[in-house]
């Protein structure tokens, strides 16, 4: 069933579809009277809606049922990625949203070829926010991930109750494979419910960046014996978290 997000609480059971929802539900999906869709409100409750009236410029729906739907990862996960070329940021946000990430931070790494100037930042973030919204609707989430940008890793800080991990190519080459397991064990035992994971751009992270992150409390970790592309590694981590925290009992 189609799901949409609405940024206000419903004032009553009768709901006039906003322009963006009208365009998709009525024009694209061709919903008619009697058809149903889901609406997620700011309290993360899901409203089952039934279309009650449709005309050329407006449609109305009513609340049929209100329920909770747990589709979020049990750990609040931030994915921080160095700027990469092309549409890799879009891929990371789209697939990362489907896999349960809560926040995406993009930063200019020492080896980043791509650059976001001030004008480009706003457009890029707006584009990525739209992708995150569509992916959250498609994957039936109750939260839309946030998107932000920072000019330097120096701006990246860990809260006192937050774990930090940095995927480091050299650690993987040296056979490091224990740290990710240890972090998942901590998350499994609920010693913390927040994780920030850092990934480099195509050229990886510099030794200076690794030192900076280590001093800030991030743990270096290999993600298996294979070296993954910049857009693959974050998705690997999210899939691993889902398996360990949601499927294994």
Is 46 in a helix, a strand, or coil?
Answer: strand
Q: In this structure, are residues 71 and 142 in contact, taking their beta carbons and an 8 Å threshold? A: yes
To the nearest whole number, what is the mean pLDDT of the chain? 92
pTM: 0.92
Residues 49-60 have pLDDT tens digits of: 999 999 988 999
Q: In this structure, are residues 50 and 35 in contact, taking their beta carbons and an 8 Å threshold? A: yes
- Whether residues 162 and 242 share a domain: the answer is yes
pLDDT for the residue 192: 73
- CA–CA distance from 58 to each of 41, 46, 96, 203 (Å)? 20, 22, 34, 50
Report the chain's C-alpha Rg in angstroms: 20
pLDDT for the residue 93: 98
- Whether residues 54 and 83 share a domain: the answer is no
pLDDT band at 249; cut points 50, 70, 90: low
pLDDT for the residue 75: 94
pLDDT for the residue 105: 97
Token representation of residue 148: 């932000």
- Whether residues 10 and 110 share a domain: the answer is no
pLDDT for the residue 135: 98
pLDDT for the residue 160: 82
pLDDT for the residue 224: 84
pLDDT for the residue 28: 95
**Sequence-separated (6 or more) residues with CB below 8 Å from residue 191:** none
What average pLDDT does the segment 81-97 reach? 95
Residues 141-162 have pLDDT tens digits of: 999 999 999 988 888 888 888 9
What average pLDDT does the segment 123-145 reach? 96
pLDDT for the residue 193: 86
**Helix 88-98 × helix 118-138 angle, to 10°:** 30
- Whether residues 132 and 223 share a domain: the answer is yes
- Whether residues 97 and 123 share a domain: the answer is yes
- Whether residues 58 and 90 share a domain: the answer is no
pLDDT for the residue 116: 87
Percent of the chain surpassing pLDDT 90: 72
Lowest mean pLDDT among 35-39, 109-113, 126-130, 212-216: 109-113
pLDDT for the residue 189: 83
Q: In 3D, which of 93, 95, 88 has the Cα closest to residue 203?
A: 88
Residue 34 belongs to a domain with what CATH number? 2.40.240.20
**Sequence-separated (6 or more) residues with CB below 8 Å from residue 32:** 51, 54
- Whether residues 55 and 8 share a domain: the answer is yes
Residue 140 belongs to a domain with what CATH number? 3.40.1280.10
Lowest mean pLDDT among 87-91, 126-130, 155-159: 155-159
Percentage helix, strand, coil for the chain under 3-state DSSP, each rounded to 5 = 35, 25, 40
Beta strands at 194-199 and 76-82: parallel, antiparallel or unpaired:
parallel
Q: Where are the beta strands (DSSP E) in 41-94?
A: 46-54, 59-67, 76-82
Tally of domains within the chain: 2
- Whether residues 90 and 61 share a domain: the answer is no
pLDDT for the residue 107: 94
What average pLDDT does the segment 114-138 reach? 92
pLDDT for the residue 170: 76
- Whether residues 23 and 125 share a domain: the answer is no
b/e sequence 98-128, b meaning 16+ C-beta within 10 Å: bbbbbbbbbbbbbebebebeeeeeeebbeeb
- Whether residues 92 and 51 share a domain: the answer is no
- List the domain range (segments joined by +) for residue 19: 3-67
Q: In 3D, which of 205, 199, 209 has the Cα closest to residue 231?
A: 199
């Amino acid at each position: 069933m189609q799901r949409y997000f609405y940024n206000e609480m419903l004032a009553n059971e009768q709901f006039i579809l906003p322009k963006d929802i009208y365009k998709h539900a009525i024009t694209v999906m061709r919903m008619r009277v009697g058809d149903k869709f889901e609406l997620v409100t700011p309290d993360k409750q899901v409203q089952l809606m039934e279309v009650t009236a449709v005309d050329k410029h407006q449609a109305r729906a009513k609340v049929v049922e209100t329920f909770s739907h747990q589709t979020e990862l049990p750990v609040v996960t931030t994915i921080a990625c160095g700027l990469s070329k092309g549409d890799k940021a879009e891929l990371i946000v789209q697939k990362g949203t489907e896999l349960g990430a809560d926040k995406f931070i993009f930063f200019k790494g020492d080896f980043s070829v791509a650059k976001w100037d001030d004008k480009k930042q706003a457009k890029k973030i707006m584009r990525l926010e739209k992708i995150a919204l569509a992916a959250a609707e498609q994957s039936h989430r109750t939260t839309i991930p946030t998107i932000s940008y920072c000019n330097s890793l120096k701006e990246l800080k860990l809260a006192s109750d937050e774990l930090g991990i940095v995927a480091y190519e050299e650690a993987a080459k040296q056979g490091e494979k224990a740290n990710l397991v240890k972090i998942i064990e901590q998350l499994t035992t609920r010693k913390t419910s927040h994780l920030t994971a850092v990934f480099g751009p195509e050229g990886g992270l510099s030794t200076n960046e690794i030192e900076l992150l280590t001093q800030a409390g991030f743990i270096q970790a290999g993600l298996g014996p294979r070296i993954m592309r910049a857009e693959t590694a974050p998705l690997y981590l999210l899939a691993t978290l889902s398996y360990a925290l949601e499927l294994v009992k």
